[in-house]
A and B are shown apart, each in its own frame.
Chain A
Amino acid sequence: MAVCIMVIVKENYPFYVRSIPVENELKFHSVVHTSLDLVDEKISAMGKALVDQRGLCPGLLYPTEDYKVYGYVTNSKVKFVTLVDSSNTAHRDNEICSMFWKLHNSYTDVTCNPFPNPGDRIRPRVFDNMVTSLMTQVC
């Protein structure tokens, strides 16, 4: 089960954070922050070779003792980072990538909401629900 999903915008601050259990959020923040460097590194290593029309999916960034960290970058430099429990069986790259594509689609829908100013940290309901369903589904 995915324990944390974070959306980091171009300016490198988290736009959306969701984690279960909520107490460990601070720890997740630091893990995700350190993984941002890895995302950049992997992207520059991949170069133009694997550019997917929907976004770059470097996949597994690094495994730690408790969690595995997965990353995804969109064309607009928005990064999605997920922490998944290591105790689960290894997820195929495809599954992770398709999860990230769903997240990306939801995120573009959220940005189309005309009311909040860009950069506002809001918790859009539809996005929230979608993230919840993804987090419980990735088992």
Chain B
Amino acid sequence: MSRQANRGTESKKMSSELFTLTYGALVTQLCKDYENDEDVNKQLDKMGYNIGVRLIEDFLARSNVGRCHDFRETADVIAKVAFKMYLGITPSITNWSPAGDEFSLILENNPLVDFVELPDNHSSLIYSNLLCGVLRGALEMVQMAVEAKFVQDTLKGDSVTEIRMRFIRRIEDNLPAGEE
């Protein structure tokens, strides 16, 4: 009897305020440490990447989804399963590019930014950039190189938050030299 079966049903509920405040404290501390919005954005992306490469294991264990056959399936899984599982929201998928390699995730409300108002001296800060890093890191572990970036943000006055995801290429496993 594997204990792994329990992971799928267990979902510890906790107050989102602590989560939101923790993320806020993280971002403000980074702002104080780096003093430059671009550096903060890069750090958030790096941190998100590190979270993503680990989170994917937890996600695959808990959700039992199989391998995705194309990018559209991937998009569906990200929006309907992953976001729902970790943030409790279900973004919608829109704006597919004609080639089918780019799409937008529209988040009506972003739990990371509850109560947050960006001050004027941080106008180029991408507050939720951690999410882009997470998506990038997680997908890299399943052999997909993607690019994620925010194109609309409620903190900057837009009505919704939009993340644009672009498929770059499939990552082939690199065979060690000497093996064919």
Contacts and interface: CB of A to CB of B under 8 A. Distances in A.
Interface of A: 109-110, 112-116, 124-126
A114 B119 contact: no
Given A112-B17, A115-B122, A126 B117 contact: yes
A115 B115 contact: no
B118 interface: yes
Q: Is the interface of B mostly helix, strand, loop or mixed?
A: helix
Interface of B: 17, 20-21, 24-25, 27-28, 31, 114-119, 122
Nearest to A126: B117
A115 B119 contact: yes
Contacts of B117: 113, 115, 124-126
Contacts of A114: 21, 24-25, 27-28, 116
A110 B115 contact: yes
A116 B119 contact: yes
B21 A115 contact: no
Contact of A112 (B20, B27, B118): B20
Q: Which of A109, A114, A124, A126 has the most CB of B within 10 A?
A: A114
Across the A-B interface, the 10 shortest Cβ-Cβ residue pairs: A114-B24, A112-B115, A114-B28, A109-B115, A115-B119, A113-B115, A113-B117, A124-B117, A113-B116, A114-B25
A21 B21 CA distance: 36
B150 to A, nearest CB: 18
B114 A112 contact: yes
29 contacts: A109-B114, A109-B115, A110-B115, A112-B17, A112-B20, A112-B21, A112-B24, A112-B114, A112-B115, A112-B116, A113-B24, A113-B115, A113-B116, A114-B21, A114-B25, A114-B27, A114-B28, A114-B116, A115-B24, A115-B31, A115-B116, A115-B117, A115-B118, A115-B119, A115-B122, A116-B119, A124-B117, A125-B117, A126-B117
Contacts of A126: 117
A5 B29 CA distance: 33
A110 B116 CA distance: 8
Given A110-B115, A124-B117, A115 B28 contact: yes
A113 B27 CA distance: 11
Contacts of B17: 112
Given A109-B114, A112-B114, 4 more contacts: A112-B17, A114-B28, A114-B116, A116-B119
B29 to A, nearest CB: 9
A17 B11 CA distance: 44
A124 B117 CA distance: 7
A110 to B, nearest CB: 7
A124 B115 CA distance: 10
B44 to A, nearest CB: 14
Contacts of B24: 112-115
Contacts of A125: 117
Contacts of B20: 112
